[in-house]
Amino acid sequence: MSSISSLFGYILNFIYEIVKNYGLAIIIFSVLLKLILLPLSIKQQKTMKKTAKIQGKVKEIQDKYKNDQVKMNQEMMDLYKRENLSPFSGCLTSIIQIILLFAMFGLVRSPLTYMKKIDTETLNNYVAEIKQEVGENSISRNYPQISILKYVNNYKTTEDPLYINMDFFGLDLSNVPQENWQEWQVYIIPVLYVLTTIISMKITSKMTSTQSKSSDIIEVKKEDNKENNKDNEMSPEEMTAQMNKSMTWFMPLMSISISIIAPLGLALYWLVNNILMIGERLILNKVIKSEGEEQNG
């Protein structure tokens, strides 16, 4: 993972040397990364629409073979094969997101290593200087390089090789909400990130449900519904709806917990990525929908 963080660091530092602002460099970096991953996003959204479109057939198979799990699995695999879909089509995207998460966390946690390429000996010398000048407790246990950055930005000149302009519209992107909880400004970006996460999830959920309703769904018979209610069993749709409802609140809560313990640079990256994702999904939804209408026409 450190190799990816190092690669991202080269790119981010190249952008930073042009714009001379860490926050602006993160925004430009996020846009470039989104453009690189655009083909994957297009494929993912098309797969999502196709998956939603066959939910009626999936439900029919589940109802028809509910007492024969082996036959049900075989029919489901045949269905996905006919539709040229993979049940694990979303795994690649999830894996990439996890890799990006850890790579970006490593980058914003140690920007002097991955972005400025400062060697360990130089960093240790700065740590010794800071402890002597400021105090033994002046180095953060979790983010020592952030402590070095703060010292350099406060006591050194902009010509110092370790200097990074962390000011972003009055916000210090080197701040960690958990360590700077007295300052209300540190919560602005994490809160905006959570709000955009909720919006993004609601848009995705709406797009999926709309596509499912527009397809030819075969409904379950009322007798089957009554029987399921008697057995106190939830239908697949009810389970999915319940899970989506839980995730709508769980994901933002998990996200804000991570944002609180990480430097604001990571939360800014996530915020920009969410805004780009929302725009991307809305635009791709219209483009893919119009393509489908032309093919049907």
pLDDT tens for 256-266 read 677 788 899 98
In this structure, is residue 145 part of a structural domain? no
Q: Report, as an integer, the average pLDDT of 187-194.
A: 88
**Is residue 222 assigned to a domain?**
yes
Tell me how many domains the chain contains: 1
Mean pLDDT of 245-259: 62
Residue of 281 and 256 predicted with greater confidence: 281
Q: Which helix (H) or strand (E) holds 18?
A: helix 2-19
In whole angstroms, give the CA distance from residue 215 to residue 40: 24
Which sign does the torsion angle of CA 138, 139, 141, 145 carry? positive
pLDDT tens digits, residue range 96-153? 877 888 898 899 999 999 999 999 999 999 999 999 888 888 888 889 999 999 999 9
**pTM of the complete model:** 0.76
In a domain, 84, yes or no: yes
Q: DSSP H helical segments within 159-263, as ranges?
A: 188-214, 222-230, 236-261
- Give exposure, 175-193, as e/b (b: 16+ Cβ within 10 Å): bbbebeeeeeebbebbebb
pLDDT, position 240: 45
Helix (H), strand (E) counts: the chain:
13, 2
In a domain, 105, yes or no: yes
Average of pLDDT values for 77-94? 69
Residue 182 has pLDDT above 60, yes or no: yes
pLDDT at 158: 87
Note whether residue 108 is domain-resident.
yes
What mean pLDDT do residues 163-184 have?
A: 90
Residue type, 205: S
Output the pLDDT for position 95.
79
pLDDT attached to residue 112: 94
- Could you tell me if residue 139 is inside a domain? no
- Judge whether 153 lies within some domain: no
Q: Which domain holds residue 89?
A: 2-116+164-296
Q: Is residue 57 part of a domain?
A: yes
